[in-house]
Chains A and B, each alone.
Chain A
């Protein structure tokens, strides 16, 4: 079946503009995660969804960042008033459930955001 998809694959924007990044998880996966991958800094956890709720938003770097998930499926990460330091690859992952034994997180190909 289809894997995790993300759109757009690349986004170039001007400083101060808002951007929306989209993630389509694997069908039936209830858990969804957003990470940010910056050059030389590995993967930084941003936010975790279980269904439509976000029990852990601790990784969002500022109040310019927000995310939502609707219908237990598609998620959108929104960055308002983008800054150059927001330039990174934003990765989305999904997994079957969040309780009990670990369930593998399947990653999308990412969205490369460049803020000029």
Chain B
């Protein structure tokens, strides 16, 4: 079985500050890991993904995430928050033979001017 835990349903940061959204996963096999972003009244958009290879993954809009097997973590970071980053972020894991993705409960990011 696979699962995802996102710590903090709401995170607030000041514009220009570091963004850190936490994600821990549970998987019995090597996982594929994802971060999705959802802007208000829109569907989900893939930010970045880890499948194999380099553990530091860069995505769109300046976001990156690092796969740490020893910590079973895949935290999302961005050095400097922009107002446009305000959205809900979902961590997700895929493992096993087919593409059923398990999502975390989401973290709403608020950026304060």
Q: Which residues of A contact B (CB under 8 A)?
A: 4, 31, 33, 35, 40-43, 45, 48, 55-56, 91, 93, 95, 98-99, 101-105, 107-110
Q: Which of B90, B99, B105, B106 has the most CB of A within 10 A?
A: B99
CA distance A75 to B90 in the complex (A): 25
Nearest-neighbour CB distance to chain A for B90, whole angstroms, equals: 7
CB-CB under 8 A for A105 and B43, given A40-B105, A42-B104: no
CA distance A107 to B34 in the complex (A): 14
Q: Decide: A105 and B105 in contact? CB cutoff 8 A.
A: no
Q: Decide: A110 and B43 in contact? CB cutoff 8 A.
A: yes
Q: Decide: B98 and A42 in contact? CB cutoff 8 A.
A: no
Nearest-neighbour CB distance to chain B for A77, whole angstroms, equals: 15
Nearest-neighbour CB distance to chain A for B18, whole angstroms, equals: 24
Q: Which residue of B lies closest to A110 (CB)?
A: B43
Chain B 56-94 interface residues, beta-carbon cutoff 8 Å to A: 90, 94
CB-CB under 8 A for A107 and B99, given A41-B105, A42-B104: no
- Of the four ranges (under 10, 10 to 19, 20 to 34, 35 or more), the interface on chain B belongs to 20 to 34
Q: Which residues of B contact A (CB under 8 A)?
A: 9, 32, 36, 41-46, 49, 51, 90, 94, 98-106
Nearest-neighbour CB distance to chain B for A56, whole angstroms, equals: 6
Q: Decide: A109 and B49 in contact? CB cutoff 8 A.
A: no
CA distance A110 to B40 in the complex (A): 11
Q: Decide: A102 and B99 in contact? CB cutoff 8 A.
A: yes
Query: In the complex, what residues of A have CB within 8 A of residue B49's CB?
Result: 102, 104
Query: In the complex, what residues of B have CB within 8 A of residue A56's CB?
Result: 98, 100
CA distance A42 to B108 in the complex (A): 11
The 8 Å CB contact of A4, one of B36, B43, B51, B101, is B43
